Structure 1
Amino acid sequence: MQASIRMADTPQLQYLLRIGDTALILAQRLGEWTGHAPVLEEDIALANMALDLIGQCRAVLAHAGAVEGAGHDEDQLAFLREERDYRNVTLVELPRGDFAFTVVRNTMMATFFKLLWQRLAASGDNELAAIAGKAVKEARYHQQHAADWLVRLAGGTAESRQRTEKALADLWPYHAELFAPDAVDEHAAQTGLGPRWSELREPWLTDMAQILEEAGLALPETVPFLSTGKQGVHSEHMGFILADLQHLQRAYPGGVW
């Protein structure tokens, strides 16, 4: 069995891991729809969005490994860390749910990634800025695609609207973690690496309010709940994701395609 690796706990690396890990775990959840989407076209679309996210994840994790300088590549960072060393937000690790759940989550996360990549295109880290320049185009498409589905489901049958409303109510409390300020964000802002994620909250809410208004849905009220995935404290679902994600690399050390 392949042993785990550990990375340096510097603010710069933690900031990069938050981005890469969030894309990685969301891609894993979207990949679970392969062969199960409501229509063939959407099956392909979700798989392609998962591949886009994996591409973003690979680029960011490869850069994180280079910054650390300990010889870790993107595969090692994706597959060989312990659960508490992943820095993705909790929102993306929640179970796949039904199609409405996936649509609402995709809308929330694509909106966030669009805003984040836009700001990272001006990063003082040239490699990260280059990654952002490509990724923002993908995130814009992901947002448009998910938002179109959200409007369609909310305006469809009584059943599709009820499921969309439930998904929004279930997912909304987790958005607060995206914008919770901490020392990692502050260091990124002070060094020019990237924006404080808290700075994205107002434009994110504006975008989401517009999408929900078009869907005939109200912006949910904020509740006093804060998940902690960015700190490495995950939900009970994360271990099951990693069991699937890491099995081959753990069982066959050094295996490559």
Structure 2
Amino acid sequence: MSDDHVYLTLAEGHEDDTRWAYGTGFEDPLHGVDTTVPEGVDAGALAADCVALADDALVSAQRLAEWVTRAPELEEEVALANIGLDLLGQARLLYSRAGQADGTGRDEDAYAYFRDADDFRNVRLAELPGGDFAFAVVRLLVLSSWRLAHFRRLEAHPDPVLAAVAAKGVKELTYHRQYAAEWCVRLGDGTDESHRRMRAALDEVAPYLGELHSAYDVRDEVADDLRQVTEAAGLPLPVYRPLPGSGRAGEHTEHLAPLLTELQGIARAHPEATW
């Protein structure tokens, strides 16, 4: 199976090939959406869900930003930066919704810049160091497949704001998954060295898959995506070896705190500044 075939298979049902970065587009996904928390929706649970999803996106975006000036080609550098912008745009909307829902009125900057690592609720796979390009695309494939499956379900969420954010995100995450799938097949079915690195990347990701499935019940969808890509690339499916702990419970690796120090440094040094 060629990488083009995988790309088209995963794109089925999403023929709109818009790849404009989330944070730079001209369409407001919340235009005309009622921001009142609907009756019957647990506002605290809604806020917690939004924060967790936003933390996943923010931390992933920061890791993708590390590839600027480091990607194998300029085109891939731009692509990864735009994917990071997509995720950053999702994080901004989700943080804002959390501040509305929990009644604190906190804005996106308060959530992103003025919480410590123990307060973050992202999954641990997102925070692992960048590694080589093979690891970057494997992680992107897994996280985008997982997030896409969950966002598809959130399109029917009773909160209209979260549903609107999910509907917008589905289009972007479909592209993220396709981009990662193309590279996984290209590298897995490439040279001996690229194949070796892809196998190593799958082994490195495998222990964190259990945490993803514990967070949202989308195991079947993610497994189908991984099966398609690994078969096309001549790679083995990653073997689940779950690690104890959960980022959703604030239990993180030693890598998150340094990442946040870099991300939050300027904002904390100038807490009253506006940009």
The TM-score, its normalising length taken from structure 1, stands at 0.88
Corresponding residue to 2:254 among 223, 236, 252: 236
Partner of residue 250, structure 1: 268
Residue in 2 that maps onto 1:81: 115
The answer to whether the aligner puts 1:179 opposite 2:213 as a matched pair is yes
**What TM-score do you get using the length of structure 2 for normalisation?**
0.82
2:233 to 210, 215, 220: 215
Partner of 1:65: 99
| Letter of the structure 1 residue corresponding to residue 274 of structure 2 | V
State whether residues 19 and 57 of structure 1, in contact with CA within 8 Å, keep that contact through their aligned partners in structure 2.
yes
Q: 1:42 and 1:247, CA in 2 relative to 1: closer, same or farther beyond 3 A?
A: same
Amino acid at match of 2:266: L
Q: Is the counterpart of residue 107 in structure 1 residue 141 in structure 2?
A: yes
Q: Which amino acid aligns with 1:144?
A: Q
2:191 alignment partner, one of 143, 153, 157? 157
CA drift at 1:223: 1.7
Cross-structure match for 1:201: 219
- Local SS of the residue matching 1:178: helix
Unaligned ranges ≥5, structure 1? 1-8, 182-196
Distance 2:274 2:122 in 1: 25
Q: Which moved more, 1:247-256 or 1:83-92?
A: 247-256
* Aligned mate of 1:166, from 197, 200, 208: 200
SS at match of 1:141: helix
Give the partner amino acid of 1:174.
Y
Query: Is there any run of 5+ residues in structure 2 with no aligned partner, and where?
Result: 1-42
- Aligned-residue offset at 1:220: 2.1
Count matched residues.
233
Q: Distance in 1 between matches of 2:181 and 2:244?
A: 25
The residue number in structure 1 matching 2:168 is 134
Aligned to 1:4: none
1:58 is matched by which residue type in structure 2?
Answer: R
Q: Any idea what SS the aligned residue of 1:236 has?
A: coil
SS at match of 2:186: helix
Is the 8 Å Cα contact of residues 18 and 88 (structure 1) preserved in structure 2?
yes
Q: CA deviation at 1:219?
A: 1.0
* Cα displacement (A) at 1:57: 0.5
Shift of 1:14: 2.1
1:37 to 58, 71, 74: 71
Indicate the residue corresponding to 1:190 in structure 2: none
Letter paired with 2:255 = H
- Runs of 4+ displaced beyond 4 Å: none
1:180 aligns to what SS in structure 2?
Answer: helix
Contact in 1 for aligned 2:135/2:201 (Cα 8 Å):
yes
CA contact (8 A) 2:207 2:240 kept: yes
Deviations 1:120-141 (A, max 9, x none): 1110110000011111000000
Paired residue type of 1:165:
R
CA apart distance, 1:12: 2.9
Aligned residue among 129, 148, 154 for 1:95: 129
